[in-house]
Amino acid sequence: MASDLSVILPRVLIVSRRSVRKNKFVDFVGEYHLDLIVSYGAVPVIVPRVSGVHTLLSSFEPIHGVLLCEGEDIDPSLYEGEVDQASGLSPQELEEIKRLHASDTAIDREKDSIELSLAKLCLERNIPYLGICRGSQVLNVACGGTLYQDIEKELSKKVKEGEQVMHIDYDNYDGHRHVVKVVENTPLNDWFKDSLEEGKMEILVNSYHHQGVKKLAQRFVPMAYAPDGLIEGFYDPDAYNPDEGKFIMGLQFHPERMRRPDSEEFDYPGCPSAYREFVKAVIAYQKKLNSSTKVAKPLKLDQEMEKKRKVIVRSFSLARNLYTTGHEMDPIKESELEAGAEFLESNTALSLQQENRLKQMGATVRSANSYIKKLKLDEERQRVARNVMGKMSVEQLSDLMSFYHMMGQICSEELERKLNSLVNGFGS
């Protein structure tokens, strides 16, 4: 049973984060992510952050979903041309940012390459994507959006007094919360609606970041704002329908870690909803993918069907012999051609390749003799046509080909119109 599940369950790719332990690199993924993915019915597949993995992503197929989460700052050159000019930060300010957020500001270009490649793959194929924290920023950058290199330096100094927000508190790392305003008629609103006070659209979220969305990519719609105006969640409404395998979303906060002190209980009942709906979309996407690539099983014939098959094969064999030899047919065997003729008349939905093959066998007509005569007539017509065209100039041949091409188009259009008319007639 376990081996069957490993094949059946959909696969969600998650890229690990590199850390240093005892002077050695260690790759890890937060267990809360893994627990939720597994509990809702998918298999997490960890993509290790090691050199060269971005060139091997096809080896992780089939990919039914991608979850990208925490990590270092994204290389600013990926979303800003002239970094210093775009951010407006001085060299001294950039150095101060590196000092204050040393664990995040060490750029990891390999991780950037892996995750941006996966994000773009999801966007190209409509593979479900959930971005948490850095993962939301990767999604925005992949779609042409930009980021604040440092919220405090770039955003906080622009807002009114009393609207400033602390987005990271190293002294109260897991316990720190700040208010966000949830946007109506969004998935986030649906998930947390039972926790929103009447007349207020606010929840408290955790916060572990010093960067965030500056310019939101055009395809996305905000789902939540912090009091300082920072977008804390967004999604693509045209790519959101979990039941149909559609899910493209980014959350700046960590709902999987919004737990009560010294407890595994969530702050709100809606906290795990992003993972539940994401996995629902992953499962639906896998089903859709499997149905489009499913190969028909070989048909098993019972004795009666096998007997009929042999009669038809015999009929085709006789027709082929007549066609290749050109001999007259024994009247006793002529009736054996009937089975092949009847089969063809009752099975007209043939591909062009199948039809041509059956014509070559001489089994597309009831009488093999008349088929041979028709072939000879066609050969004579082709011979006459070749003689006539052989005497024509290049210009005349070009005009003739253009004429028949035009006639073919008209014929095709008229045929399509009449077939549509017939189909619509049946439908009514």
Could you confirm whether 405 is annotated as catalytic?
no
Catalytic residue among 133, 178, 209, 277: 133
Could you confirm whether 133 is annotated as catalytic?
yes
Could you confirm whether 411 is annotated as catalytic?
no
For residues 213 and 234, the answer to whether their CB atoms sit within 8 Å is yes
Catalytic residue among 178, 254, 271, 277: 254
Q: What are phi and psi of 147, to 5 degrees?
A: -130, 155
Catalytic residue among 115, 152, 154, 256: 256
Instruction: Select from 21, 12, 23, 17 the least CA-distant residue to 112.
Output: 17
Which positions are catalytic? Answer: 133, 254, 256
